[in-house]
Amino acid sequence: MYPHFQDVELENWHDFEIESRKEIVALLRGIGDKNQLIRMLIHGEADVCVTSILDVDDQLDTVVLDSSIDPEQNQRILAARGLSFETTLDKVRILFAAERVEPTVFEGTPAFKMTVPPTLIRLQRREFYRIATPVTNPVRVVIALPEQLGGVTTFPLADISCGGIAILDNKMLLGDAIGKEYLNCRIDLPEIGQVTTALQVRNSLDLTLLNNKTNRRLGCEFVNIPRGMLAYVQRYITRLERERNARIAGLA
């Protein structure tokens, strides 16, 4: 059921599989309540779109998902015979799948519905805690590209950990070459300082957003980052975590 995720972490996916319906429903509701974005992949296609959970009805055995603003994409999703979903909830990676989805209407708006999945995978990587960086005032990394690609270029970060960063490359300047290394990259961490390190591209993902724009997310690993620079990264992650906890406490 899950090998289509093509993920080295899933070699022993049976070890992470959840079969408790009560737990599955609770996790799906938690994803919906926190408005977590979900990657939806049509089996056999490279196109990835982003959706979210609008409702989980335990009695009707249904999960309602947001649809795309692109009618053609919606048709491909409805015609698909196999869909994969990936998201995170409270630092934990969640994976589930569906054989198909059906059209429905939720609160007057077109949507998709699927059967509550019989199983779900919950993966927690403990080596590096990864936290999303601010969207409104993004942290940026400066990478020296060849002159024909624009020379020194700045990219916004999507998240950061003690192991590396995720970069948003909307203009596709960096390509998607796994293993490519960029030297002397600079990351300005607000109120902490500047980190200089080499970065190696470890994974690449193209996301088709609901407005039909494509966004490329590159996962990059720190290469031989100096210990002092790593301390800056850890301090910044701690600061982000404190701010997030303060917001959550303020909303409680």
Do residues 101 and 141 both lie within one domain? no
User: pLDDT tier at 15 (50, 70, 90 boundaries)?
Assistant: low
**What digits encode the pLDDT tens for the residues 47-69?**
778 899 999 999 999 999 999 88
pLDDT beyond 80 at 187: yes
As a whole number, the mean pLDDT across the chain is: 86
Which of 123, 154, 170 marks a domain boundary? 123
pLDDT for the residue numbered 14: 60
Cα–Cα distance, 38 to 66 (Å, whole number)? 10
Which of 69, 88, 123 marks a domain boundary? 123
Structural domain count of the chain: 2
Which of 123, 155, 172 marks a domain boundary? 123
pLDDT beyond 80 at 110: yes
Do residues 153 and 119 both lie within one domain? no
For 108, phi and psi rounded to 5 degrees? 80, 0
**What digits encode the pLDDT tens for the residues 219-242?**
899 999 998 999 999 899 888 888
CATH classification at residue 232:
2.40.10.220
Cα–Cα distance, 91 to 124 (Å, whole number)? 7
pLDDT beyond 70 at 78: yes
User: pLDDT tier at 7 (50, 70, 90 boundaries)?
Assistant: very low
Do residues 144 and 119 both lie within one domain? no
Do residues 100 and 180 both lie within one domain? no
**What digits encode the pLDDT tens for the residues 132-146?**
898 888 899 999 988
Assess contact for 87 and 120: CB atoms under 8 A. no
Domain that holds residue 241: 131-251
Do residues 118 and 135 both lie within one domain? no
CATH classification at residue 92:
2.30.110.10
Cα–Cα distance, 198 to 185 (Å, whole number)? 6
Do residues 117 and 166 both lie within one domain? no
Identify which of 70, 53, 67 has the alpha carbon closest to the alpha carbon of residue 102: 67
pLDDT for the residue numbered 9: 46
Identify which of 81, 83, 49 has the alpha carbon closest to the alpha carbon of residue 66: 49
Share of the chain above pLDDT 70, in %: 90
Three-state secondary structure call for residue 22: helix
Do residues 172 and 229 both lie within one domain? yes
Assess contact for 40 and 84: CB atoms under 8 A. yes
Identify which of 242, 212, 175 has the alpha carbon closest to the alpha carbon of residue 67: 212
Retrieve residue 31's tokens.
């994803």
